[in-house]
Structure 1
């Protein structure tokens, strides 16, 4: 991937370091005295590589698993439907694009853009990504009904509607922390087009709770 590049390995590693510290492309171009188009090219190449890497991870999640969906208005943009003139609602029932997340405590996070948050949709994602022996924690959304019926014998909920956010080990603080990180990080782009949103989502998934040096080492190995 880098053998035909006109840039030296030293320069490429410098671009990787800036990317992994999350420095915007415009500032990276100034810091490294490189053309902005060159930085844009490498940043997009990194995102495509990370996307492929994250989507190729096939090992199922196991252990204590938190599941949750997000519709955060700061980066999951609202969609107007023709003939609809009312005020868009927030959260479930909104016209916004939902994104579903799975968090393995002390481990990985997985995100997926979904068409809706109905029971069938969420079950298909969970069955495909989470081992049956896992313990699943969720909130009280009806889309999580029936998990016991499909083989997940240990499913516990917190009732956010009743202001219950933790009951011992029963909480979804981990995946909610990820959504907060995702919101803060993606908000700085001031809107991301549908074409590139999935790349940024997978990049954020890849970055979460990891140090820049660790990310830089992995990214260098991925593009070689």
Structure 2
């Protein structure tokens, strides 16, 4: 008996059960909780959760490649509305988000504690290639 599962080669569980495991994984449930909800054994759940985690790591490594080419940088403030009397940068209760955009490509964002040049330059050096760097 061959079970069809387009996500896992030679899988012994149906595609529907695998999608359930993915759903519960994304809800951050542990193996015992997923076992109770799906009716599969804990060993089976652990096998698939390990495979999912390894794939997430693999994709994260691919995504973390440095940005190359023309890159734009900017910071934005998100959160609370402007408080009367407090203007400009650092209005109370706002979250600072720093972003790098590769023209026609990927975007990298990071929440930063402040907009000091040392903080931002550390991020830029860590996320861009070292080929050419221009400051304008």
TM (norm. structure 1) is: 0.34
Alpha-carbon deviation of 1:117?
0.7
Tell me, yes or no, if the aligned pair for 2:78 and 2:95 is still in contact at 8 Å.
no
Higher-RCO chain (CA-CA 8 Å, sequence separation at least 6): 1
- SS of 1:97's equivalent in the other structure is strand
Match of 1:129?
127
**Structure 1 residue runs without a partner (length 5+):** 17-38, 79-85, 135-151, 157-224
**Aligned counterparts of 2:87 and 2:19: Cα–Cα separation in 1:** 42
> Quick one: which of 91, 95, 99 aligns to 1:94?
91
Which of these two proteins has the greater Rg computed from alpha carbons? 2
Tell me, yes or no, if the aligned pair for 1:102 and 1:110 is still in contact at 8 Å.
yes
More strand by share: 2
**Aligned counterparts of 2:84 and 2:56: Cα–Cα separation in 1:** 34
**Structure 2 residue runs without a partner (length 5+):** 1-7, 29-52
More helix by share: 1
- SS of 2:27's equivalent in the other structure is helix
1:67 aligns with 2:77: no
Match of 1:117?
115
Write out per-residue CA displacement over residues 51-77 of structure 1, whole angstroms, 9 at most, x where no aligned residue: 86675443211101011112123xxxx
**Aligned counterparts of 1:118 and 1:128: Cα–Cα separation in 2:** 16
Tell me, yes or no, if the aligned pair for 1:70 and 1:91 is still in contact at 8 Å.
no
1:58 aligns with 2:55: no
Within 5 Å, which residues of 2 pair with 1:140-151? Answer: none
Q: How many residues align?
A: 98
Write out per-residue CA displacement over residues 20-58 of structure 1, whole angstroms, 9 at most, x where no aligned residue: xxxxxxxxxxxxxxxxxxx5x34335xxx6986675443
**Aligned counterparts of 1:54 and 1:99: Cα–Cα separation in 2:** 23
- Over 3 Å counting, the alpha-carbon distance change for 1:133 and 1:68 in structure 2 is same
Tell me, yes or no, if the aligned pair for 1:71 and 1:91 is still in contact at 8 Å.
no
